[in-house]
Amino acid sequence: MSASLLTEDSAGLDGLSVWPGSTTRLPHGHLSVGGVSLAEVADRFDTPAYVLDEDEIRARCRMYRAAFPQADVVYAAKAFLSRAMVRWIHEEGLGLDVCSAGELELAVTAGFPPERVVLHGNAKTPRDIELGLRLGVGRIVVDSPSEVARIAALTGLPGRQKVMVRVVPGVAAGGHEKIRTGTDGQKFGLSLTDGSAQHAIARVLGQPQLELTGLHCHIGSQITEVKPYLVAVRRMVGLMARVRESHGVTFPELDLGGGHGVAYRPGEPALDVTALARRLNAELATSCAAAGLPVPRLAVEPGRAIAAPAGVALYRVLAVKHTGGKVFVAVDGGMSDNPRPALYGARYAPRLIGRATGAEPVTATVVGRHCEAGDVLADDVPLPGDVRPGDLIAVPVAGAYQVSMASAYNLVGRPPVVAVHGGAARLLVRRETQEDFRRRDVGV
């Protein structure tokens, strides 16, 4: 098991506990990941750039498979997706959760079996549904009443599509209000409290083209405690018992979504996946026994917990400014390649790499190059007092919800993604260029 899969180790003494397990100190302040010097990656591929450790991805997939041997582990593609990632996930035996025709098409054309795909989305387009049906996705998660008739009509007779109903179980969990999805008053799912979930279940059961295999819920993201998941299990099993009483139907599947939290900075908590699996299985067995139900097959959907700790973002310092009693370190990326600090107040632990320094640390704010005061990558973090233009800054835990949420703000091209493995680096996703922008802009 890689070092970064542990809650703490000796690397934590100097801030490397949240880095990929393959991270190694090199002379003169250099670091390597996957046997490759990060400074060499920056020189070869330029900056900003994202580095993804293939071995860390695979180790985390295997950790989940070991923790949930009798469950379906489904990787949430929204965290990060590329053709290489599709291959790694496939080879490690995970399923795939997609939210659009774009994610689905990339996955299937890269060789992923469509029957192991779960299609999500609170507002699926006709193309999303049509492509899912045509390619033969394993499950479609119903997120609104209107989808029931739409999926059934597009399936047609004598077709039969397996579906699940996404339930809002009334559980508040997650690291920020914008990523809490288990309570009423947000856009996802069908409420347990107002009866809309029960109504949708009845509608699905009335459609001969649809096979309702079970229920789905997702209570939030960046959750670091097990207890909210246990509450969700009890409420979902309670609903399953009521469905059996009302319709005589017993569901064989229960998908509890993902949202498993990781540590972005040394000392922060992370969800203990092994403890989660043990306590979920125990709670599910107890709740089902009390309700007189057979135990359904469980599914979980980790995304961040697999991708985030495997990624490192690399930036070049462009300017250092002392103003208003603060030190601003401006780099050549920013909110266009990582909007999370602006969206959620996400906190990171950037590190100077590529040269040795004995300078005392100063409290600095790492900012981007974009025309927004909120373009801040890391606020009030320790950096060497002699940080200067040309230095390299590396930010760990950068593998999820950064490249996947990147934009073309100020027409700054999105960074490349570079995989490292066994001492070699290779390009997975090339840098977006000015030529790409010119080709898309077809009007005069």
61: tokens are 């997939």
| Per-residue confidence (pLDDT) for residue 10, from 0 to 100 | 34
| Per-residue confidence (pLDDT) for residue 77, from 0 to 100 | 98
Going by C-alpha positions, the residue among 308, 302, 404 that lies closest to residue 348 is 308
Are residues 424 and 355 part of one domain? yes
Are residues 110 and 86 part of one domain? yes
Are residues 11 and 34 part of one domain? yes
Are residues 197 and 167 part of one domain? yes
**Residue 419 CA to its chain's centroid (Å):** 18
- Count other Cβ atoms within 10 Å, centred on residue 152: 21
Are residues 116 and 229 part of one domain? yes
Please give the Cα distance from 436 to 417 (Å, whole number): 17
| Per-residue confidence (pLDDT) for residue 15, from 0 to 100 | 77
Q: Which of 61, 217, 288, 371 is catalytic?
A: 371
| Per-residue confidence (pLDDT) for residue 187, from 0 to 100 | 75
Q: Which among 266, 289, 306 is the end of a domain?
A: 306
Going by C-alpha positions, the residue among 367, 383, 363 that lies closest to residue 318 is 367
Are residues 123 and 17 part of one domain? no
Are residues 188 and 162 part of one domain? yes
pLDDT digit string (tens) for the chain, length 444 residues: 343 443 333 334 467 999 999 999 999 999 999 999 999 999 999 999 999 999 999 999 999 999 999 999 999 999 999 999 999 999 999 999 999 999 999 999 999 999 999 999 999 999 999 999 999 999 999 999 999 999 999 999 888 999 999 999 988 665 545 444 545 576 789 998 899 999 999 999 999 999 999 999 999 889 999 999 999 999 999 999 999 999 999 999 999 999 999 999 999 999 999 999 999 999 999 999 999 999 999 999 999 999 999 999 999 999 999 999 999 999 999 999 999 999 989 999 999 999 999 999 999 999 999 999 999 999 999 999 999 999 999 999 999 999 999 999 999 999 999 999 999 999 999 999 999 999 999 998
Phi, psi of 146 (to 5 degrees): -65, -25
Whole-model pTM: value is 0.94
What is the chain's percent helix, strand, coil content, to nearest 5?
35, 25, 40
CATH of the domain at 287: 3.20.20.10
Please give the Cα distance from 253 to 360 (Å, whole number): 56
Angle formed at CA 114 by CA 257 and CA 414, multiple of 5 degrees: 70
Are residues 195 and 286 part of one domain? yes
Are residues 382 and 428 part of one domain? yes
- Count other Cβ atoms within 10 Å, centred on residue 360: 9
Please give the Cα distance from 260 to 224 (Å, whole number): 7
Which string of b and e fits 179-214 if b means at least 16 CB within 10 Å? bbbbbeeeebbbbbeeebbbebbebbbebebbebbb
Q: Count up the domains in the chain and report the number.
A: 2
| Per-residue confidence (pLDDT) for residue 442, from 0 to 100 | 96
1: tokens are 């098991």
Domain range enclosing 294: 55-306
CATH of the domain at 343: 2.40.37.10
Q: Which among 267, 282, 306 is the end of a domain?
A: 306
| Per-residue confidence (pLDDT) for residue 422, from 0 to 100 | 97
Phi, psi of 249 (to 5 degrees): -115, 135
User: Is the distance from CB of 64 to CB of 73 less than 8 angstroms?
Assistant: yes
User: Is the distance from CB of 344 to CB of 178 less than 8 angstroms?
Assistant: yes
Are residues 289 and 317 part of one domain? no
Q: Which among 289, 306, 323 is the end of a domain?
A: 306
| Per-residue confidence (pLDDT) for residue 303, from 0 to 100 | 98
Place of tokens 């909120």: 374
Are residues 338 and 225 part of one domain? no
Helices (runs of H) and strands (runs of E) counted in the chain: 12, 21
- For residue 371, indicate whether it is catalytic: yes
Are residues 278 and 143 part of one domain? yes
Please give the Cα distance from 183 to 301 (Å, whole number): 19
